[in-house]
Structure 1
Amino acid sequence: MQIRAGSRDDAGRIAALHADSWRTAYAGIMPDSYLSGSLLDAEKAALWEARTTEPDPASGLFVAVDGLDVAGFAYSTPRPDGRLLLDNLHARPGRTGSGIGGRLLRHTLAWAAAEHRGRDLYLEVLSANTRAIAFYERHGAMRTDERVCRFDQGFALPEVEYTWTAKALAARDVRVDVRTE
Structure 2
Amino acid sequence: MTPADCDGVAEVRVSGWRSAYRGLMPQSYLDGLSVEADAERRREYLAQGDPGVVNLVAEDTGGEIVGWACHGPYREDEVLTGDAELYAIYVHPDQVGRGVGRALLTESVARCSAAGHGRLLLWVLKENDRARRFYERAGFRADGAEEPFEVDGVAVPEVRYTRALADVAAPRPLAR
In the alignment, does 2:56 pair up with 1:57? no
User: Matched residues, percent identical?
Assistant: 32
1:170 partner letter: A
CA contact (8 A) 2:121 2:161 kept: yes
Residue 114 of structure 2 is matched in structure 1 by 114
CA 1:179/1:69 → structure 2, altered by over 3 Å: closer, same or farther?
Answer: closer
Query: How far is 1:180 from its partner?
Result: 4.9
- CA distance in 1: counterparts of 2:88 and 2:36, whole angstroms: 17
Query: How far is 1:153 from its partner?
Result: 4.1
- Aligned pairs, how many? 170
CA contact (8 A) 2:89 2:101 kept: yes
Residue 11 of structure 2 is matched in structure 1 by 16
CA 1:88/1:180 → structure 2, altered by over 3 Å: closer, same or farther?
Answer: closer
Q: Which structure 2 residues correspond to residues 23-102 of structure 1 after superposition, within 5 A? A: 23-37=18-32, 39-41=33-35, 44-66=38-60, 67-78=62-73, 79=75, 80-82=79-81, 83-102=83-102
Residue 134 of structure 1 is matched in structure 2 by 133
Which 5+ residue runs of structure 1 have no aligned equivalent?
1-5
Which 5+ residue runs of structure 2 have no aligned equivalent?
none
Stretch moving more, 52-61 or 122-131: 52-61
Query: How far is 1:164 from its partner?
Result: 1.2
- CA distance in 1: counterparts of 2:136 and 2:80, whole angstroms: 23
2:158 partner letter: E
2:167 to 155, 165, 171: 171
CA 1:122/1:43 → structure 2, altered by over 3 Å: closer, same or farther?
Answer: farther
Measured against aligned partners, the alpha-carbon deviations of 1:74-118 in whole angstroms (never above 9, x if no partner) come to 001212341322011111112101000111001000100112x14
- CA distance in 2: counterparts of 1:64 and 1:75, whole angstroms: 12
Stretch moving more, 10-19 or 47-56: 47-56
TM-score (norm. length: structure 2):
0.87
- Partner-residue secondary structure (3-state), 1:35: helix
- Partner-residue secondary structure (3-state), 1:58: coil
Query: How far is 1:48 from its partner?
Result: 1.1
2:93 partner letter: P
- Partner-residue secondary structure (3-state), 1:85: strand
TM-score (norm. length: structure 1):
0.84
CA 1:157/1:43 → structure 2, altered by over 3 Å: closer, same or farther?
Answer: farther
- CA distance in 2: counterparts of 1:142 and 1:178, whole angstroms: 27
CA RMSD of aligned residues (A): 2.0
- CA distance in 1: counterparts of 2:12 and 2:174, whole angstroms: 22
